[in-house]
Chains A and B, each alone.
Chain A
Amino acid sequence: MAHFTLSPRHRLVVRAVAEGLFAHDDGPRPEQLDRVVARYEEQVGAVSRQLRPVLLLALDFVRWLPLLLLVAMRPFEELPVERRTALLERMERSRLWPLVLSFVAYKTLLTMIFFEDESEQRAMGYPGPERKRWLTRAA
């Protein structure tokens, strides 16, 4: 757990997927992407030695998807962010089950990590851990 590190190649792909998934007018910011990569590394480091290669293989699958789908002759991380977003949308709607599965696995994991960021939670209107409703009984 403490000793697993992603290869530089896999870091680039995770970062590129996250940038495509969360692209918007003002971001995501580089430090947010750094955080996603770091948390992803921790998550993969915490899984078994059986599951870990499967997750990394899925990353390689995404990496070479532009070639496999004849979209571009470059790996995923070298595409402009708009094309990455479009490719991810295509994966989500695909009829090919391996594409959908890879997409869902990475979207779920990276989205949960990305939106644990306090600034993102504030931006979506989430006030944090404080609650009011339980006090109605105390009152």
Chain B
Amino acid sequence: MADARGVTVVRGRDRRAPVSLSADVVIVGSGAGAAVAARELTRAGRSVVVLEEGPFVAPSEYGRLPPMGTFRRCAREAGLSAVVGLGDSPFISLLQGRCVGGSSVLTGGVCFRIPEEVLHHWSRDLGLPSMTPEALDEHFRVVEEVVHVETVPDHMRSRGTQLFVEGAAKMGIEMKPLRRNTQGCRGASRCNFGCPHGAKLSVDVSFLPDACARGATIVSDALVDRVDVTGGVARGVRGRFLDEDREGRVPFEVRAKVVVVACGSLHTPVLLRSSGVDSPHVGRHLTLHPAVRVSALFDEVVEGWDGAMQPVFSDQFASEGVTLVGVYPGVSVLAAGFPGVGRKHRALVHRTPNLAVFGGMIHDEGGGRVRRTFGREPLVTYRMAPEDRPRLVRCIELLGRMAFAAGAREVAMPIFGIDTLKSEKEIDDLVARPPPMRRVECTAFHPLGSAKMSRDPRAGAVRETGETWQVDNLFVCDGSVLPTSIGVNSQLPVMTVAHKIATGMAADWARLARRAA
């Protein structure tokens, strides 16, 4: 057993004999969706078992781990997951959590509500009447309270952020303060490597402790192989405990009246397919919010690391599918993004104190697909939609122009194989002759939509309630149910939709229990 800030975790890797458990609800995954569901269902009096494939890393350890050490312990594929671009599409680095708390441990903590126009599209055009701003408002409010969503104060903006805000202002671009799930932030600028001060209220220090206090059992190192389905009703799950080499040797099973799959948009489709859910929509429609960043070199000393990692954003270009978001990803990560090799690269790295960074992402149309492979990890492909290519170029253009407007001497663009730009004229040239998308350096943090909700089974994998169309008492409760991309960071939306699904399950419990009998 391991304990930290109220989370009691049974370490599966310590188990030497097969284990059989039973509960009202078994939840596969422990990230943003799973943790919210665990809390709400325990609050409703249900017994809950949470199964996490990854290890338990105590929050007190986050500050002691270097970035790559964090990735080794807490990220899927040690931070080396990637999406294979098809055709003229970028090769996208994709960061996903694989630990108790899931990706919430590795996010920047940015909290947006789902934009109203997106919800109007879902409710009116896609026939999902409960996905309106009004219907979700109370769910947002509850989640925001639990994870302590607060606005980043002005004094936590690093000098680098201030420079970009100045550049944006000169271009007539309005920047707004971001909201994050923090309390007592000291501006270490390393939220995505686990907060060293425990100031980011990821679900392992917010929702899961509450679920534990109400009796939930959290098991780490527990890989679920399949959902047991009998007579069209989910009955539980089977899997293996993973040892330190990630080999599964000790089997376990959990019998339950309801099964909740919440392993994220990449692994939820894999588990559903392994369990016989063969809807053609499972694994398709994946959206990513492809993101880019530019690095700008100034004459003045900027020390961009001193401040909140993500303090401001602009939605001024939302109608063009572009959101601009301040970011500072850490000095070793920045060093990896500088062009060049040897002395030339080193010369740029040694100007890191003069560096400011800004990022942006696009509200993409999809084109991603998750496929099962011979092993545990899926093959994820992405064919960028034709309308998304100019969006990505526009995003890069805006970031570059903001940097020069702020007085940058040189700007490193997210395009492989080009030198730093020395003038805005070079941006004009770039826009006039855009690079192939496969040369754009992209990252993604918000995979969504691979088991999307729909009004009928011909259009998606799950009902509006989160229950799969094909199997009764089998629910999906993570970002994969979102029917489209949302154009903003997805942590709070995933938690909120999970809250809606979980409270719906709790309200409908008598019927679900009758079915399971």
- Asked if A74 is at the interface (CB within 8 A of a chain B CB), the reply is no
Question: For window 111-139 of chain A, which residues contact chain B by CB distance below 8 Å?
Answer: 111-116, 121, 123-126, 129, 131-134, 136-137
Q: Which of B36-44, B258-266, B329-337, B389-397 contacts A (4 or more CB under 8 A)?
A: B329-337
Q: What residue of chain A has the Cβ atom nearest to residue B91's Cβ?
A: A101
Interface centre among A20, A101, A126 (most CB of B within 10 A): A126
A5: chain B residues at CB < 8 Å are: none
Q: Is the CB of A129 within 8 A of B63?
A: yes
> How distant is A73 from chain B, measured CB to nearest CB, in Å?
23
Contacts of A132 in B (CB 8 A): 306
Interface string of B46-87 (1 = CB under 8 A from A): 000000000000000001001110011000011010000000
Q: Which of A8-25 contact B (CB under 8 A)?
A: 20-25
CB of A68 within 8 A of chain B? no
Given contacts A92-B339, A92-B341, A113-B68, contact A2 B245 (CB under 8 A): yes
- Beyond A133-B306, A134-B186, is A116–B67 a contact (Cβ under 8 Å)? yes
Q: Quick one: which of B197-252 are within 8 Å of A by CB?
A: 244-246
Q: Give A51 to B346 CA distance when docked, in angstroms.
A: 30
Q: B332: which A residues are within 8 A, CB to CB?
A: 111-116, 121
Partner of B335, one of A93, A100, A104, A115: A115
A106 to nearest B CB, angstroms? 10
Please name the residue on chain A nearest to B93 by beta carbon: A108
B349 proximity list for chain A (CB < 8 A): 115, 124
The total of interchain contacts (Cβ-Cβ below 8 angstroms) comes to 141
B336 near A92 with CB under 8 A, answer no
Q: Which of A21, A48, A88, A133 contacts B246 (CB 8 A)?
A: A48
A50 within 8 A of B: yes
Q: Which residues of B contact A129 (CB under 8 A)?
A: 63, 188, 196
A137 adjacent to B244 (CB under 8 Å)? no
Which residues from chain B contact A137 at a C-beta distance below 8 Å?
Answer: 153, 155-156
- B307 CB–A CB distance under 8 Å: yes
Q: Cβ of A78 < 8 Å from any Cβ of B?
A: no
- Report yes or no: A93 in contact with B438, Cβ–Cβ below 8 A: no
Q: How far is the CA of A74 from the CA of B244 in the complex (A)?
A: 39
Chain A residues within an 8 Å CB radius of B345: 21-22
* A46 proximity list for chain B (CB < 8 A): 71-72, 78
- Which residues of the other chain, B, contact A50 by a CB distance below 8 angstroms? 373-377
Taking a contact as CB atoms under 8 Å apart, the answer to whether B335 and A112 are in contact is yes
Q: Shortest Cβ distance from B165 into chain A, in angstroms?
A: 15
Bound Cα distance A46, B70 (Å): 11
Residues in A whose Cβ lies below 8 Å from that of B331? 115, 121, 124, 126
Select one of A89, A112, A126 contacting B67, CB under 8 A.
A112
Question: A residues 80-119 with Cβ under 8 Å of B?
Answer: 85, 88-89, 92-94, 97, 100-101, 104, 107-109, 111-116
Q: When the two chains form their complex, are residues A97 and B438 in contact, meaning their CB atoms are under 8 A apart?
A: yes
Picked from A1, A23, A125, the residue with its CB within 8 Å of the CB of B244 is: A1
Contact residues in A for B441 (Cβ distance below 8 Å): 104
The yes or no answer to B273 lying at the interface (CB within 8 A) is no
Which residues does chain A contribute within 8 Å of B376, judged by CB atoms?
A: 48, 50
Query: Interface on A for B, CB 8 Å cutoff?
Result: 1-3, 20-25, 39, 42-43, 46-51, 55, 85, 88-89, 92-94, 97, 100-101, 104, 107-109, 111-116, 121, 123-126, 129, 131-134, 136-137
Minimum-distance CB pairs A-B, first 7: A46-B78, A111-B336, A125-B353, A115-B332, A134-B186, A50-B375, A115-B335
